[in-house]
Structure 1
Amino acid sequence: MPRELRQRTSRLNYAALFQYDDDGAGPSGSNMQAHFEDNAESGSDFVPAPEGEQPVEESEEDELGDNDGEDDEKTGAIEPSDEEGSIVIAQTDPKGQRKTSKRRVSLAPGISVRQQSTASSLPSAHHRHRPISLHKRPKSSRAERLACRPSPFKSPPLIPTQAFSEPLIDTRVPKSWSYNVGPGPFWELMEDRGFYNEAPYNEDEREGIRRPTVHQTIQMKPGAFEELTGEQAAAFLPKGQIKCSFGRYSEQEQLAIKPLDTLRMDKYFPENISHVFSAGGPVWALDWCPISPDGREAIQRRQYLAIGPLPSHDYAPLIGVKRSTSACIQIWSLNPTPPPKDDLGFMRCDIVLCTGAGPAYELKWCPLPSHDSLQPLDSPLRTPRKMGLLAGTFEDGSMCIYAIPYPPDISRGTVKDSGPVCVKLSEPLLRIHFEETLCWCLDWANSEVLAVGCTNGTIAVYNVVDSLNSDAPLPSHFFSAHQSAIRSLTWIRAPTYSANAEVTSDSPTMIISVGYDGVMHAIDLREPCGSDISRTRDAINAICFSTYCGGPICVDQGFLKAISISPIFLNKGHTILDPEGPVWDVSASDYHPQVAAAVADGSVVTANTMRFTRRGGTVPFLAHKIYQMDYSRKTGEYRMLEHFKPKEVPRVGGASREPTKASGAWSPEVGVTRVAWNQGNGLASASWLASATASGLCRVDWLTGRWLHDKIPYHSIEGIRGEVEVEEEEDYE
């Protein structure tokens, strides 16, 4: 009789029961049994997906978990352990149906897998952190907001409200900003989040306290400038005119634009509040002049712009080469229209400042108001009043700070057709010059401290007040940061803290710079050396600080990214824009989270940095092209195109992302070189965006936001700001 083997019976593996909790543990229930998959997948990326299974999109490199903690209860972190004897178990659906396209794997307690442990600190791969501010005022502090929709030249009432330092407001306001699908900011949500150590760190919400007027002891000296005749000023003014077409695509009108000509775009687009003006040459420097609240009312909310054009369209500056040539700085004004006409305003060149230091590479006003009293005078003054302090880097390799005269005190008239006054400036208030290198870029930390980037990779930090009172000014810090020229730098305008965690009155100490070596370098002046945040194989042209993002916004491998320097983010960034060309300049505002980029393809693009956190959300993440320049090499003519449809920024990264149409082969004549939001002129003027192009045409646009489906979250602005009670059960995601 042949020997019969005993029938094999399955034995229960108690390691498989570790995946159940205490309440549901037990081997008796058949529906609670854990089964091993005999034909389990190997997990290799090269194995094709099973038939009928949809490929899973790769998560973006910059995707992070949601900081609101919405899925914290659903997703728990896996604790690492040194215990042995545990195995990985594949869990199947009791009904035999696959719920998701991905195979679900659960771990027994005490085991940690490398792939899962690295992502365990994040709530979910389908969420990302919203940017957070680096500082918050005391919880009892207040802020100002607009009570009604502003207009370009009317002063709307301001009402106090709860600031973002309140936890409830800090949660609701970023969520509400993510519903913006317009090119500009929401006037309802704008709030001044800028920090300057000159202002007391208290609960006062008034702008005059948070942005005080500075440098009142500096006055215009007699003989500070010399007025020139038209023949004398001709050597300093840009020469040449261009032909450009404006209007709708099929109905464009060609105009011959001469230097200092202006054009209102409502002629072609009645709904537009935009102005185009010509500086006469390629513009590489542009900035708005800050005015105090009292000064704005005295000058009827007039705005001023500093423009730095090149002498001609054929002029080509060289990096590292010092040249002293005749050039100019133009002071343009955005004026209200005399009644009873409309209130769109008009542009006018008030002053042409002639200088022999060469064209300006960068111009930046003192970030706080530094003008004299702008109240109307009964009798003219012998010495004109000061409008502000303007710092700039020039082709002769110097960095200079000038006291700019108030235009109405020296202008020939106040009518639109009156020409500019050409004056030649004498010695500047402060002149910095190095024998071994050139000053290339600069940025103000506040009204007292200024940083200068040089073409040999060094950074010099100066105390402006001490330097003005010294015959031989020396930098407070001078160090090497890059191996090549520094293209741009920015201060991290955040308060410094003492050992007792109290806010001090010290100036900001952290600088982040980018250069032609492709390195983003961060340094704290309190430490002996800095560190590199990122490194690319391309030159980085622009960087700016965003108080809403809590860090710098810069270019990284063709993408515009916001990087948070908060310790909890570990310098992680997320993509904001995917432009179709190299980015020349980028600008952020202290009043809103909208960012603007000047692109070499001739376009000005804006986007919302408060991106919606949920990947599958219904709110699209849009990039708005305000306008785009085009150039014909055959005819030498330009055209300005606008009213483009918004473009949705792709949410998918890696291999699933569609190939981009970006290119670097753009004609240099079409590039947009500078862009700047209006800062320092209050909430009512924060919607103005100025831009400059390589063609010499400049433009200012009044941009506003739009709610998705015209629906305001939390029922009203008062609900967002916590001024009225709102039911929390409603889902606003």
Structure 2
Amino acid sequence: MGRVKREASDEPYEDAPRRVRGKAKQGGDTSTLLRQHGILATRVQATPWPEPGPASMAAPCDADDPTVLPTLKAYASQSHLPHRAQLIDVAWRPPSTEWSAPTTAVAAPPCAPDAMVPVTFQAAGASVQLSLQPYTSVTLPDSASATHPCHVLDAGGHIYDLAWAPQAEAQDSEHLLVACSNHREPNARVADTSHPDDGELQCWVWDPATAHVQCQGRWVCDAGAPLQVAWRPALPPPGSLGLAAVAWSDGTVHLLEVPLQSDGVERLVAERVLRVPGTACYSLAWGGDARLAVGCTNGTVAVWDLDVSDTPVCMAPVHDTTVSAVSWQMLPPISVDGEPQPETRPHLLFSVGWDGCEHITDVADMVAPLRHTHSREPRYAAAWLPWSGSWAVDLGDHQFGTVSLRTHDMGRHHALGFHHARVLCMAASAYHPFLATGSAEGSVKLTSVLAMAKRKTAEEGSRFMHKLFRLARTDSGFVWYQGFYPEGVLPRAATRKSGPPVVLDRWDPQVAVTSVAWSPNAGRALLLASGTALGLVHIAWAEG
């Protein structure tokens, strides 16, 4: 087939002169993506953080609305940190369904956590030394913002995963569900036989009345340790924080209605438990409020429609070994007539595994997945990017980037940035185009997807990765560094191909950032939580 000439983008805000070289610079803008799939954008008009009060939302509108275009232009032409005045909801949400997952809570014996650890917080030449007690938190000044302090809490053990609870707009407080161990090292043996895998779920709440974070509930389960958690993207049922899917170390997935709080340590008993025969469930991803995808340790990918049955609607061996991350393409499917179908459910699933492969699987034909690429290094993280209509993925060589879904370069990678160690986790938001990534050397970086995904969309030298913090270990304990300058990523020359700078460093496994999560709520969309293997969780308001 001959070469296909693509039409130039007719974006009304693309009036700035720029050099166009190659097809990688044509199309791919957010407003075109929204128009093609019939997605309406909703502007967040008021974000009262840190004061109490709900966020106010404007009426949904299309991408051609004059109130939306200035913000899209600002995001596409600069790579600064997000601002509350630029928040726009561009997510597609499949039709809601009704189903339930009752959960019973009974008293359980408490678990003894590890002892406190000495930590030094250092920023802008000043340092604060303290030792956090387990299940307590501390409020510290944020070097990046004088008006928004950051919070550090101690969960008492290795953080496996964490996620913010979706809430109704009328609620002021934010709830963070933390899946953790009771020991700083996840492989530590526990003498208490009543908790053989020594894992628990914790709920931490930020209360605007007290302006600090506190532990509100702790729960254990007979299934072992919670490895992954994912909140159902729907409003919580009455009397609970919401419904969460939790992958436990015994290989099962429990659907739990998380209580508002607990008296001491309680044991949760789920009435709906999902299993895949012959393997253990590991990674989770919701495709709407009823479709759940699970990646297993033997490479199998399974999908449930939970409003229909507890039996998978489809299941197939996609990878050769553990599926470390799964992520849905959250765009309305396009019919044969070219019309979006918002009443349907997502059907394309992206998965990465320890075999180094990236697969895109259609749930209607799971026996024939499309393998995009393969590397000799395992892949650990993937996330859907609503603002660019692509997936973010760690590239296996300390870099992270996007997987293109455009026809002319399907499956190609576009590098966004790098860490100085293996990328372990990432998170994206539907309210702004900034990707948060965490690495094994203890750092968290924020990267503008729109400003870096395509060459020449920004001026040379203006494409930055903002390092939020880095946790390091010294002879005297742990040091939490803040106040970094942005790290620049210059465009690659036409005749020179080079990777990220080689930096030799050593780090302790306990400083690894194991999970990052943006708040899914409109009024707190800039709230970022980062969990570490040491058991500390950092909560910051990421605003420029």
User: Which TM class, normalised by the smaller chain length?
Assistant: 0.7 to 0.9
Deviation at 1:462, TM superposition (A): 1.1
Q: Are 2:327 and 1:490 aligned?
A: yes
Equivalent-residue separation in structure 1 for 2:166 and 2:506 (angstroms): 37
Q: CA deviation at 1:168?
A: 7.5
Q: Which residue of structure 2 lines up, in the alignment, with residue 422 of structure 1? A: 265
Classify the secondary structure of the residue corresponding to 1:351.
strand
**Aligned counterparts of 1:360 and 1:449: Cα–Cα separation in 2:** 21
> In 1, Cα distance between the equivalents of 2:38 and 2:322?
45
Q: Within 1, Cα distance between the matches of 2:40 and 2:320? A: 45
**Using the alignment, how far apart are the partners of 1:545 and 1:191 within structure 2?**
16
- Corresponding residue to 1:163 among 38, 46, 62: 62
2:184 is the alignment partner of 1:347: no
1:646 paired to 2:486: yes
Of the structure 1 ranges 595-604 and 644-653, higher mean CA displacement relative to structure 2 is found in 644-653
1:33 paired residue number = none
Q: Which residue pairs with 1:400 in the alignment?
A: 254
Classify the secondary structure of the residue corresponding to 2:437: strand
Q: 1:13-28, aligned counterparts within 5 Å? A: none
Greater alpha carbon shift after TM alignment, 323-332 vs 136-145: 136-145
Change (3 A) 1:558 1:631: same
1:463·1:475 contact (CA, 8 Å) conserved in 2?
Answer: yes
| Displacement of 1:691 | 0.6
Deviation (angstroms), 1:401: 1.0
Partner of 2:3: none
Unaligned runs of 5+ in 2: 1-5, 190-194
Q: Alpha carbons of 1:530 and 1:662: their partners in 2 closer, same or farther (altered >3 Å)?
A: farther
Correspondence for 2:399 among 559, 583, 591? 559
RMSD of equivalent CA atoms: 3.1
Q: Counterpart amino acid of 1:437?
A: T
Contact 2:77 2:458 in 1 (8 A): no
Sort the Cα spacing of 1:168 and 1:642 in 2 relative to 1 into closer, same or farther, 3 A. same
| Among candidates 509, 513, 519, match of residue 672 of structure 1 | 513
Q: Distance in 1 between matches of 2:253 and 2:152?
A: 29
Size of the alignment, in residue pairs? Answer: 520
Letter in 2 for 1:304: H
- CA pair 663-391 structure 1, distance change in 2 beyond 3 A: farther
- Note if 1:692 corresponds to 2:522: no
Matches within 5 A, 1:246-265: 246-248=121-123, 250-265=125-140
Q: Distance in 1 between matches of 2:220 and 2:259?
A: 13
Amino acid at match of 1:233: P
Q: Which residue of 1 aligns with 2:175?
A: 304
Partner in structure 2 of residue 241 of structure 1? 116
Counterpart code for 2:248: F
Whether 2:319 is the aligned partner of 1:476: answer: no
Counterpart mapping for 1:447-596 below 5 A:
447-467=289-309, 473-502=310-339, 503=341, 505-527=343-365, 528-556=367-395, 557-596=397-436
Query: Contact between 2:142 and 2:150, CA under 8 Å: does it hold in 1?
Result: no
Unaligned 5+ segments in structure 1 are: 1-63, 73-121, 200-213, 339-344, 373-384, 412-420, 468-472, 706-733
Aligned residue number for residue 190 of structure 1 = 87
Instruction: Write out per-residue CA displacement over residues 618-661 of structure 1, whole angstroms, 9 at most, x where no aligned residue.
Output: 670111011100112x44x1110001011111212574647613
Question: Compared with structure 1, are the counterparts of its residues 331 and 130 closer, same or farther at alpha carbon in structure 2 (3 Å cutoff)?
Answer: farther
Change over 3 Å in CA distance of 1:195–1:159 after alignment to 2: closer
Per-residue Cα deviation, 1:654-713 (whole angstroms, up to 9, x for no partner): 74647613458532111111001111x12x2101001101111001111113xxxxxxxx
Secondary structure of the 1:610 match is helix
Task: Map Cα deviations across residues 198-220 of structure 1 (whole Å, 9 max, x no partner).
Answer: 16xxxxxxxxxxxxxx64x6375
* Structure 2 Cα separation of the partners of residues 69 and 179 of structure 1: 13
1:160-208 deviations in Å (ceiling 9; x for gaps): 37432x287887544320344433x232332111112216xxxxxxxxx
Query: Could you say what secondary structure the match of 1:334 adopts?
Result: strand
Alignment of 1:78-117 (within 5 A): none
1:597-608 alignment runs, 5 A limit: 597-608=437-448
Correspondence list, 1:64-83, <5 A: 67=9
What is the TM-score of this pair, normalised by structure 2? Answer: 0.87
Distance across 2 between alignment mates of 1:668 and 1:641? 17
**In structure 2, what is the Cα distance between the partners aligned to 1:278 and 1:590?**
29
Higher strand share: 2
Asked whether the 8 Å contact 2:37–2:332 carries over to 1, the reply is no
* Aligned residue type for 1:424: R
Tell whether 2:105 aligns with 1:225: yes
Match of 2:202 among 321, 330, 353: 330
Question: Per the alignment, do residues 395 and 664 of structure 1 end up closer, same or farther by CA in structure 2, a change over 3 Å counting?
Answer: farther
SS of 1:175's equivalent in the other structure is helix
Match of 1:617, SS state, is: coil
- Relative distance call for 1:245 and 1:455 in structure 2 (3 A) is same
Match of 1:99 in 2: none
Determine the structure 2 residue equivalent to 1:433.
Answer: 275
Structure 2 Cα separation of the partners of residues 586 and 233 of structure 1: 32
Q: Give the CA deviation at 1:438.
A: 1.1
Name the residue aligned to 1:87. Answer: none
Letter in 2 for 1:701: A
Deviates more, 1:645-654 or 1:577-586: 645-654
Give the superposition deviation at 1:348.
Answer: 0.7
Within 2, Cα distance between the matches of 1:549 and 1:141? Answer: 13
CA contact (8 A) 1:578 1:649 kept: no
Counterpart of 2:160 in structure 1: which amino acid?
A: W
Structure 2: how far apart are the matches of 1:575 and 1:641?
26
Counterparts of 2:483 and 2:458 in 1: how far apart (Å)? 28
Q: Distance in 2 between matches of 1:175 and 1:135?
A: 14
Structure 1 Cα separation of the partners of residues 8 and 184 of structure 2: 49
1:357 to 214, 217, 223: 223
CA-CA distance at 1:570 after TM superposition: 2.2
- 1:285 and 1:648, CA in 2 relative to 1: closer, same or farther beyond 3 A? same
Q: Is the 8 A contact 1:555 1:583 kept in 2?
A: yes
TM-score norm. by structure 1 comes to 0.66
Whether the aligned pair in 2 keeps the contact of 1:360 and 1:394 (CA below 8 Å) is yes
Cα distance between partner residues in 1 of 2:177 and 2:215? 10
Secondary structure (helix, strand or coil) at the match of 1:586 reads strand
1:663–1:233: structure 2 CA closer, same or farther, 3 Å change rule?
A: same
Counterpart Cα distance in 1 of 2:28 and 2:464: 17
Conserved in 2, the CA contact under 8 Å of 1:126 and 1:614? no
Q: Is the 8 A contact 2:120 2:130 kept in 1?
A: yes
Structure with higher Rg: it is 1
8 Å CA contact 1:311–1:359 kept in 2: the answer is no
Identity level (%): 21
Which of these residues, 446, 451, 459, is aligned with residue 617 of structure 1? 459
Q: What is the DSSP-based 3-state SS (H/G/I as helix, E as strand, rest coil) of the residue aligned with 2:141? A: helix
Structure 2: distance between partners of 1:542 and 1:480: 19
After superposition, the Cα gap between the structure-2 partners of 1:506 and 1:161, relative to the gap in structure 1 and judged at 3 Å, is closer
CA contact (8 A) 2:461 2:490 kept: no
Match among 156, 160, 185 for residue 280 of structure 1: 156
After superposition, what is the alpha-carbon deviation per residue over 1:104-137, rounded to whole angstroms, capped at 9, x for unaligned?
A: xxxxxxxxxxxxxxxxxx9524972464459536
Which residue identity does 2:254 align to in structure 1?
A: C
Q: Deviations over 1:585-614 (max 9, x none)?
A: 010111110000011111110010111652
Shift of residue 250 of structure 1? Answer: 4.2
Per-residue deviation, residues 401-458 of structure 1 (Å, max 9, x unmatched): 1111123xx56xxxxxxxxx321112x1321234521111111111111011011101
In structure 2, C-alpha distance between the alignment counterparts of 1:575 and 1:65, rounded to whole Å = 24
Residue 534 of structure 1 deviates from its aligned partner by: 1.4
CA contact (8 A) 1:334 1:347 kept: yes
